[in-house]
Amino acid sequence: MKKVLIATKLDGVAAELLNANGNYEVISDPSTDLADLCAIHPDAYAVIVRSEPVTAEIIDSLPRLKVVIRAGAGYNTIDCKHARKRGVDVMNTPGANANAVAEEVLAMVLADMRKIIPADASCRNGKWEKSKFMGRELAGKTVGIVGLGNIGQMVARRLTGFEVRLLGCDPVIAGEHAAKLGIDLVLMPELFAQSDVITFHVPQNDQTQNMVCSDLLQHCKDGAILVNCARSGIVNESDLRAFKAKKNLRFLNDVYEKDAPGPKSVADISDIMLPHLGASTLEANIQAARRAADELIEFDEKGITSFIVNRDIPEGLDESFCELANLLSRMCLKLSPLQGKPRRIETSFYGQLQPYAKWLMVPVVAALYEDFDRSLSYAEALHYLKEMGIEYVDRETDPAKGYESSITIDLLSSDGNRAMQKVSVRGTVAESRLMVTRIDEFDNLFFEPHGHSVYFMYQDRPGILGAIGVALAASGINIEDVRNPHDARTDRSLAIMKVNRRVPDEVMQEISGQIESLAAFRIEL
């Protein structure tokens, strides 16, 4: 019998499923501190938690531990690296709370539009202030959804019955798929300008940090409602504070820098504040509990490892090639003249990489979709692409080309009005260093994108390289390496420069406009 510790308040279905299996001894004790529970049961084989921290010390206290399961999506409270050193697999249950978050968004919006919370308090105090609490109807309004992953799409589906107009902004969803959901894809400024309600469903990363700032808030309608059930860091609080009174904005919030008691920095600008209740429903709890039990049973009985978030690279595959696949995919997206409208992904894994094609395809998809977890399986990646309306083809490779241990990724995009636009990137790994060997027609580059590098593609003419150098120098940025190939057939040139520090957004935009670039982006590794 394998001992399983359920050290959290989790629906009983998890214990029921594990007990019914007959191979597990389940200890369910949410009231005892996890460290104390582990001390009582040092022979535990698996631990199921929610937000409880699983530290290196806890892992080391369980010499027989093989699996830690987070009944939920986020696993930042688990020391995954130490678990891997100990040979312990860490799993999660992504998607279990998607519907709960989507419904919470609607609940907050409706509560705010109909003034439910203050009206309730007033009525309980014996008052009868009907005119004071005149509300608004959601029907007929325009709702903007920023981020159209699982939760964003579910919000759209839940809104269909309210007869609203749906706008969406997502860098990679196919236009046809968005149309099936009744969503018109627009650029972010337009979404802010036209929407009565704006809800955010994006991860927090370098691209989305402080995304909701004055540049976008200045476009807001008077009285617009902003809903953040995603991550606190995507909203620039100072900018929102400045525009809130000016534009009579409403801010409904469920996320904070830390999930803990104490004062909250957004208290003065939040019209509704909830203590991160997105996943706090009975149904989400049941779903997470069921998924946790099922994953453990399938892991033990069928060897299914789809939800392991700290899994090893398979024997024989250099981990650098996973990073290479991710890098090349990101570059394709940045190079695409129709960024955000991919229709088809084609990959070629040459030489010794061919047996690992399915494994390498996962980081390709993760590069295009921030909310797709790299721990997921090939089958789940295929399903995800299908949900986003993207076709995937892994091409049969020709050994005669001599591209030993190389990866080629082609990204085909279309906005529905034009023919497919294709970008293609190839790379390899040399002495554990990632190398970009080809970008579209520019071959034999062998450029190492380590550190800070910038890329500009443009129609060739005299003085462009110098103009880029002058603009960088004016910002105190030094060029450490440069490639500047030219293709006579297309009359295009490519400037790739390794620089000594990060090039600011405004400098990239200035250079791009000055040289009328066809593509301009940076890579930081």
Which has more pLDDT, 85 or 349? 349
pLDDT score recorded for residue 259: 80
49 and 8 Cβ atoms separated by less than 8 Å: yes
Average pLDDT value for residue range 23-35:
94
Of the listed ranges 119-133, 146-160, 397-411, the one predicted with least confidence: 397-411
Q: Is the pLDDT of residue 351 over 60?
A: yes
Three-class secondary structure of residue 152 per DSSP? helix
pLDDT score recorded for residue 359: 85
pLDDT score recorded for residue 375: 64
Q: Is the pLDDT of residue 340 over 60?
A: no
Q: Is the pLDDT of residue 338 over 90?
A: no
- 416 pLDDT tier (thresholds 50, 70, 90): low
pLDDT tens for 214-228 read 999 999 999 999 999
Average pLDDT value for residue range 300-310:
81
pLDDT tens for 466-512 read 999 999 999 999 999 999 999 999 999 999 999 999 999 999 999 99
pLDDT score recorded for residue 383: 86
Query: pTM of whole model > 0.85?
Result: no
Q: Is the pLDDT of residue 229 over 90?
A: yes
| 492-499 and 406-413 strand pairing | unpaired
pLDDT score recorded for residue 315: 62
Residues 259, 260, 262, 268, Cα dihedral to 10°: 10
Q: Is the pLDDT of residue 417 over 70?
A: no
pLDDT tens for 184-206 read 999 999 999 999 999 999 878 77
Work out the mean pLDDT of the chain and round it to a whole number. Answer: 90
- 253 pLDDT tier (thresholds 50, 70, 90): very high
List the structure tokens of 72: 């939920």
- Going along the chain from its start, the domains and CATH numbers come out as 2-96+282-302 (3.40.50.720), 98-273 (3.40.50.720), 313-440 (3.30.1330.90), 443-525 (3.30.70.260)
Q: Concatenated DSSP letters for 321-354? A: HHHHHHHHHHHHHHH-TTTT-EEEEEEEE-GGGG
Strands (E), 325-466: 342-349, 391-394, 406-413, 421-430, 433-439, 452-459
